Structure 1
């Protein structure tokens, strides 16, 4: 049963209509968001050191004050996602009741996975387990450099890339998909909170929500793009193509790959983005199978089963571990790892949520939760076990060399180049390293083009097919933000901004949960009322037909109503 509203939905502008450029934007969202981002870019380029200091100071305050909040709400999102998927609300269709899904299961999964975290998996697949194993930035979690520590390192990685991030995407994706496909609203974050804030959704509050989503998306995607070019530069250095890459190299890489992303986003979802997503998944799957085949295959399978068990056994404790007893070391660890990840995923949530909502028309809530929460989590665990497990096996039982020490004797890991070091040791290592660089570039492009499309839809008032000039504008600005963040402090600045941007949008996500509950309860109540009415009508018809068959009722009664006279009294069936 399709949910309806007492008011007509605001119809998005048509991309096909011939109108001046300024009529294809939502000015109260487009201009404030663009100004905020341009001011940040200018400040980071003009005074990078000052901006770096400001970012560092804010990070320390946010992490020390709000890391517990991130841990609490993200764990809550996991429970919320499981609840709506397993409850009777799971039968609700994200679209008209009789509509079939727009994309097949394989294509749907490829697009949501590539957009969701593909580039992050490539960057951290080897590096994160090694960093945890080495105790970087410190040993706040008590992980040791032995077999037990290696297991703990992989399980900690599962926490950061498993159910929790995908639950964040479920919350935003379901809220938007229900508003867009079920309630016929424009593609916009604000309408996901309509049942909570009412008519204010079309006022300044709705504008503020969309502005926060646009800014958060730009910075979240730029963080990933920054990580991507750091690893591409490390790969080119590893292959002796570019020696000791610096900021100039990164700027050129961002420019070239942003251009490819712009070309992709201009062609639309059903062409460029769809094709690149399928290529991404195929290439990533092939590389994973090669590492599985030529790496420590038996160890990987054993490690996968054992690590999944350890993850499930320790999931609750890890989900609520705020490192409260570790003091400043605990704050530093949270800022580098868990708090950073939760902030990163939340900053990505508007982008990924809108995108997967856009491609999930026709699926039920249960299908959506299963597809977005469970399947990617399983694939992610396999990915990290294959790549991270191979690296840990080499460090424990092989030639080592992936974890070193600095001048002060502190453990170090070459985060950007560790993937290439692992691939080089396998048969055909040089070819695998080239393939890894290509894979990173493709994931870079799909993240950027999907992000550009989402930001364009949000800042155009919800047009699902926004004009091409608009897509190009945001694609260029994404690249500029990535450059600015690299100038303002590299990886540290990228991580910090992700944590900061997530704070305001996390409040929006809590509002989405409340709105989803209201909408689902209202639809469930309407469905039950309709079922009871239908049952009453069927019962009445059945009783009437039975009385007619027994000759107790004249079907052509005096008043044509089917009433029957008994003992001088008129009785209605």
Structure 2
């Protein structure tokens, strides 16, 4: 009763908290009462987004890549976040670990093997490649280089840099509206602050639910593979509950030390696990995959990024490129609050190196190792992997790869544990930020948020993820990504424009 009374007296920003909370609660309630109606409604909304905003997602994402390059090469790159006397809060290794583990969530773990196999077995019609061919394999590596390299990390880097400069160098409030000041003016910004924060809360719930859904599927797949007698219908809610409890507890216990330690453990696992797979797996195939992926990426980056010719509004582009951009965008705004905050004391050019270039390179190395090994084994027994994908789902692919490599009883439980820790690491900072945005007291020095709010948002994320994967599987994850990405797309486009204005006139917009 005491906790409930405390929550009722929490200084909530009512116009920020209640609209997205009630909307998501209504969606969860509708799905439980009428699953068919909910699924058909989600599909209709999803189709509308894809039909009308597909090109907007692609163009905006590519513009962020160009902006990262321009800012890094401009005089703005020399500006120190927080002023010339500002000192960093973390050393470079800790900083990079936090950035990487806050952004990847379970993405590279789930899609590292699943996505290249999809493209290998089902190449897009505009390529005219045969399923399972060498050309399809080369295209698949280029596609995951596009979806997990420079573009997604530009989607994170742009709003993070905009927030860092706004709060530390322009002395604006710690809000998602602050980076828009060069575009809309300082006087108009406070009027839009509540609306922007409200929309981004909704976007992040959808984005986190999509990522959590991928994690639930993969962890459940690993457990089911380890103990084949367990029922999937029993595993999904059990895994969902365990993950929700973990990241709520992590967020509630304090963010600075908790996320730093978790990130370093997570990063160490990423490095060790990838090195082990590189040495015990088909090493030559992995190296070849990296080179072929780089060549295919260079060849196709413009047509795929800008949807030229037959790529435009194709089923493949909407199902993969737009899905990826939407998912990254849904996470980006509120994740950027955290990444911008910990960038204090770094130069803009250093920020781009550690938030854009290095994480992208790391992900490409990871994708080369796991994607390359998957394609190597799939090319040897295409029917096996095709049947596995169709009958057991994408979450089963990585465990089949472990079976081909050997040491399954060691690799599989280690991977499942990594999936668990990875999502918790990424989600606790976002849950903390969501609770902070919901409150009137929003401190720059520390996230002073209410534990009850973290529980509420964390529970809603978990319920939405479980409902979508239960009724729609992998398609449900994609629908959630598109739904969360649309409002974030508008904000990120505005921040990109603002950052370009700031780049050309830094003295006009920055105080130090």
Q: TM-score, normalised by structure 2?
A: 0.91
Q: For 1:364 and 1:99, how far apart are their aligned partners in 2?
A: 10
Equivalence for 1:471? 454
- SS of the residue corresponding to residue 49 of structure 1 reads helix
Q: CA deviation at 1:334?
A: 2.5
Structure 1 match to 2:410: 431
Contact 1:52–1:488, Cα closer than 8 Å, also in 2: yes
* CA–CA separation in structure 1 for the residues paired with 2:25 and 2:133: 48
Where does the alignment leave 5 or more consecutive residues of structure 2 unmatched? 1-5
Question: What does the per-residue CA deviation read over 1:32-89, in whole Å, with 9 as the maximum and x for residues that have no partner?
Answer: 2222221222122222211111111222222122212211111111101111111111
Conserved? CA contact 1:129–1:157, under 8 Å: yes
Distance 1:388 1:169 in 2: 23
Matched, 1:325 2:307: no
Q: Deviations over 1:380-409 (max 9, x none)?
A: 11111101101111122x455553259xxx
Pair 1:486–1:46, CA change in 2 (3 A): farther
Structure 1 residue 230 displacement after superposition? 0.7
For 1:476 and 1:209, how far apart are their aligned partners in 2?
23
Report what 1:201 is aligned to: 189
**Secondary structure at the counterpart of residue 386 of structure 2:** strand
State yes or no: 1:66 paired with 2:49: no
Aligned to 1:287: 273
CA distance in 1: counterparts of 2:337 and 2:206, whole angstroms: 16
Aligned to 1:132: 119
User: Structure 1 residue 520: deviation in Å?
Assistant: 4.3
> RMSD in angstroms over aligned alpha carbons?
2.4
* Aligned residue in 1 for 2:3: none
The residue aligned with 1:445 is 424
Partner of 1:561: none
Q: CA deviation at 1:490?
A: 2.6
Higher gyration radius (CA): 1
Whether the aligned pair in 2 keeps the contact of 1:351 and 1:451 (CA below 8 Å) is: yes
Moved over 4 A (4+): 399-402, 410-413
Verify the 8 A CA contact 2:170 2:509 in the aligned structure 1.
no
8 A contact 2:141–2:292 mirrored in 1: no
Task: Tell me which residue corresponds to 1:373.
Answer: 356
The reply on whether 1:404 has 2:366 as its aligned counterpart is no
* Rounded Cα–Cα distance in structure 2 between residues aligned with 1:42 and 1:326: 38
**Separation in structure 2 between the aligned mates of residue 379 and residue 486 of structure 1, nearest angstrom:** 29
Pair 1:515 & 2:494 matched: no
Q: What is the CA distance between 1:20 and its match in structure 2? A: 7.8
Q: How does 1:117-128 map to 2 (within 5 A)?
A: 117-128=104-115
Instruction: Indicate yes or no: 2:328 matched with 1:341.
Output: no
| Contact 1:78 1:167 (C-alpha < 8 Å) held by counterparts | yes
Match for residue 165 of structure 1? 152
Shift of the 526–194 alpha-carbon distance from structure 1 to 2, 3 Å rule, reads closer
> Residues 481-500 of structure 1 correspond to what in structure 2 (within 5 A)?
481-500=464-483
Task: Assess if the C-alpha contact under 8 Å between 2:67 and 2:500 holds in 1.
Answer: no
1:230-284 Cα distance to aligned partner (Å, 9 max, x none): 11111111111652412x4212211111111111111222222111111111112
For the residues of structure 2 that align with 1:526 and 1:341, how far apart are their CA atoms? 32
The separation in 2 between residues aligned to 1:54 and 1:294, in whole angstroms, is: 47
Deviation at 1:116, TM superposition (A): 0.8
Query: In the superposition, relative to structure 1, how do residues 44 and 141 fare at CA in structure 2: closer, same or farther (>3 Å)?
Result: farther
User: Structure 1 residue 331: deviation in Å?
Assistant: 3.7
Counterpart-to-counterpart distance in 2, 1:245 and 1:480: 17
Conserved? CA contact 2:46–2:483, under 8 Å: yes
The count of corresponding residues between Structure 1 and Structure 2 is 501
8 Å contact from structure 1 (residues 232, 441) kept in 2: yes
Q: Secondary structure at the match of 2:87?
A: coil
Secondary structure, aligned partner of 1:465: coil
Secondary structure (helix, strand or coil) at the match of 2:489 reads helix
Q: Give the helix-richer structure, 1 or 2.
A: 2
Q: CA deviation at 1:190?
A: 1.3
The 8 Å contact of residues 90 and 364 in structure 1, kept in 2 or not, is answered as yes
Q: Secondary structure at the match of 1:304?
A: helix
Match of 1:101 among 88, 95, 111: 88
Aligned residues of 2:88 and 2:343 also touching (Cα < 8 A): yes
Q: Does the Cα contact within 8 Å between 1:403 and 1:413 map onto a contact in 2?
A: no
In 1, the alpha carbon distance for the partners of 2:232 and 2:338 equals: 33
Tell me whether 1:315 sits opposite 2:301 in the alignment: yes
> Which residue of 2 is the match for residue 261 of structure 1?
247
Equivalent position SS for 1:95: coil
Measure, in 2, the Cα distance between the counterparts of 1:381 and 1:460. 38
Out of 294, 300, 305, the position equivalent to 2:291 is: 305
CA separation in 1, counterparts of 2:302 and 2:269?
34
Structure 1 Cα separation of the partners of residues 229 and 267 of structure 2: 27
In structure 2, the CA distance between the partners of 1:20 and 1:428, relative to structure 1 (3 Å rule), is: closer
Q: TM-score, normalised by structure 1?
A: 0.82
Q: Could you tell me which residue of structure 2 aligns to residue 393 of structure 1? A: 376
SS in 2 for 1:199: coil
